[in-house]
Structure 1
Amino acid sequence: MNRRRRKKLSRRLVLAAMIGDSARVAALLRAGAPAETTDAEGTTPLYAASVHGAAEAVGRLLAAGASPDTESGHGAEGTPLCGAACWGHTEAVRELLAHGADPDLREDHGTGRSPLDWAAAGPHPETTALLLAAGARPS
């Protein structure tokens, strides 16, 4: 696949993930969009789906090979699990944990908040409970 087509597919995949259009996510993956990619701003499709609570799109991206722990953005975003936990998106959190997301992985290359920090600050008690059950350790 040439570079121009890859960039176009990546941009479209991030947008489809962001709005939770799981059918479009699936179509773009079938068309060759890589699940582990970024748009021009460094946003990964998995982070975009996670932060917006699009659990079905999260599941499709993970099944297609997206890494559950890849940090998104150029310092302004974070990990998919932190993004989902921050907003209390329990179904997205469940999908990420089921696919091996590290419940203790801190964003900002290990120097920022953990998913549990975000969920507790929300406050999102159901998300906090999910993370604790998955082995997250309080700071």
Structure 2
Amino acid sequence: MKRRQQKKLSRHLFEATVTADASRVKALLRAGADPEREDSDATTPLYLASVQGEAEITRLLMEAGASSDTESRGAGSEGTPLCAAACWGHRETVRELLAHGADANLREDHGTGWSPLDWANNGPHPETAELLITAGANPTRRPSSGS
């Protein structure tokens, strides 16, 4: 696929993700949109879907090849999809991410920041925290200094 066409598809994929248009996301992925391609701010579509609590879009992106543990680096949207969903207590999105292999103990900031459980507890979102613990999140690990 030509680079220009891929860029256009990616832009449309971000738009559809932001507007929570699951049917459009599905169509764009079928047309060849790259579910891993970051936008100009280095934010991934999966991070956007996760922070918004869009469980269906999260699932569609992972089924199309988006990695559940890819850390987004966008300004104001940095971190892992699971941390983003846990931070806001989006339980269905957390379930989808875990079902597709997200690491319940993966810390943000390349392993030095908060874990999904830290974010859920800080929310506070006790039901989300319990879901993470059930999935294997270690409740005794603490963020390293500086976080």
Shift of 1:75: 6.0
Larger radius of gyration: 2
Structure 1: distance between partners of 2:3 and 2:73 = 20
Shift of 1:73: 2.1
TM-score (norm 1): 0.95
Q: After superposing the two structures, state which structure 1 stretch, 29-38 or 117-126, moved more.
A: 29-38
Structure 2: distance between partners of 1:42 and 1:109 = 15
Structure 2: distance between partners of 1:127 and 1:18 = 23
Contact 1:29 1:64 in 2 (8 A): yes
Count, aligned residues: 139
Structure 1: distance between partners of 2:111 and 2:74 = 14
Unaligned ranges ≥5, structure 1: none
Identity %: 65
Q: CA RMSD in A?
A: 1.2
Aligned ranges 1:27-42 → 2 under 5 Å: 27-42=27-42
**Corresponding position of 1:7:** 7
Contact 1:19 1:49 in 2 (8 A): no
Unaligned ranges ≥5, structure 2: 143-147
Higher relative strand content: 2
Aligned ranges 1:68-83 → 2 under 5 Å: 68-74=68-74, 76=76, 77-83=78-84
Contact 2:41 2:75 in 1 (8 A): no
**Corresponding position of 1:101:** 102
